[in-house]
Amino acid sequence: MKTSAVIRSMRGPFLILSPVCVFLGASTATVNRDNLYLLLLAFLGALLAHVSVNTFNEYLDFRSGLDLMTRRTPFSGGSGALPDNPDAARTVLVVGVASFIAVMTIGLFLAWKCGMMILPIGVAGLALIATYTNRINRHPWLCLIAPGCGFGFLMVGGTHYVLSGTTALYPWIVGAVPFFMTNNLLLLNQYPDIQPDARVHRRHLPIAYGIANSNLLYVVFVLMTMVVILASVLLGYFPALSLIALLPLPLAFFAWQGAIKYGKNIGSHPRYLGANVVATILAPLLLGVSLFYG
């Protein structure tokens, strides 16, 4: 039973975003047999970082009582692993701490092997993991951009540096696509939990500024994703093939329409949240494919 609870607390279906962002970062650099092991370490570090933040979130939400107040959907409200198996709480915490330490160890090795410029990226990533649930969630604008910074800029920029040993503007432009999309992923998933989140003193954007303003910001982020892709193609940063990354964005507009129509009740209509997830994964994945082959 504990094993099952730990696996559920990792939120496996959502972990796919980490390899997608690492792949996107790899598409901005040269990958060969000499640095393939560095790519594998970057992938492992990103995956463990995602596991760590998920398990910490599950543990802390259970301890605060939030998991007992939420109405779970496939995309929000937690996994339900610990309310179903309370005795597994300590094990889930141990997994979160062990994953955190493993990420730190991998980061120190990469700093020794690739250069100290990876340290600010690593420290920022560890800070996000350690503070997301209990600190960042109390600050609306910081909570809004934290997911995109972690998956978009830190994972993409960090992977590029690990593989190339150089800093450049290019991977940060590329990282803007998962930055905007991942912010939107977490933003929409907060709608069903507005009331229980407020009871445990969270203050993310839908709580602080309401559904209407959150919907407006959501569509602005979708439009900014389009601007980044189109402008980068026109300016020669991306190949023309990168226009394929626009193909999933109608799904984001579909999710936006659901957010307008149903607001905080969008959790009862999971097709909209599902469309948001698919768009978030496919846009950076297709961008990475286009950069790799274009």
Name the band, by pLDDT with cuts 50, 70 and 90, for residue 82: confident
Q: Is the pLDDT of residue 286 over 80?
A: yes
CATH number of 2-293: 1.10.600
| CA pair distance 251, 16, nearest whole angstrom | 18
The token pair at 106 is 């991998």
What counts of helices (H) and strands (E) characterise the chain?
Answer: 13, 0
Name the band, by pLDDT with cuts 50, 70 and 90, for residue 133: confident
Mean pLDDT for 227-252 is 97
Q: What is the pLDDT of residues 166-176, one digit of tens each?
A: 888 999 999 99
**Closest of 259, 226, 220, 221 to residue 243, by C-alpha:** 226
The token pair at 195 is 């009331």
Task: Give me the residue spans of the domains in the chain.
Answer: 2-293
Name the band, by pLDDT with cuts 50, 70 and 90, for residue 79: confident
Which residues, 6 or more positions from 59, have their beta carbon under 8 angstroms from its beta carbon? Answer: 9, 82, 89, 92, 93, 96
Cα Rg for the chain, rounded, in angstroms? 19
Q: What is the pLDDT of residues 183-209, one digit of tens each?
A: 999 999 999 999 998 999 899 999 999
Q: Is the pLDDT of residue 134 over 90?
A: no
**Predicted TM-score of the model (pTM):** 0.95
Distances (CA, A) of 146 to 98, 183, 237: 22, 7, 25
Mean pLDDT for 212-228 is 98
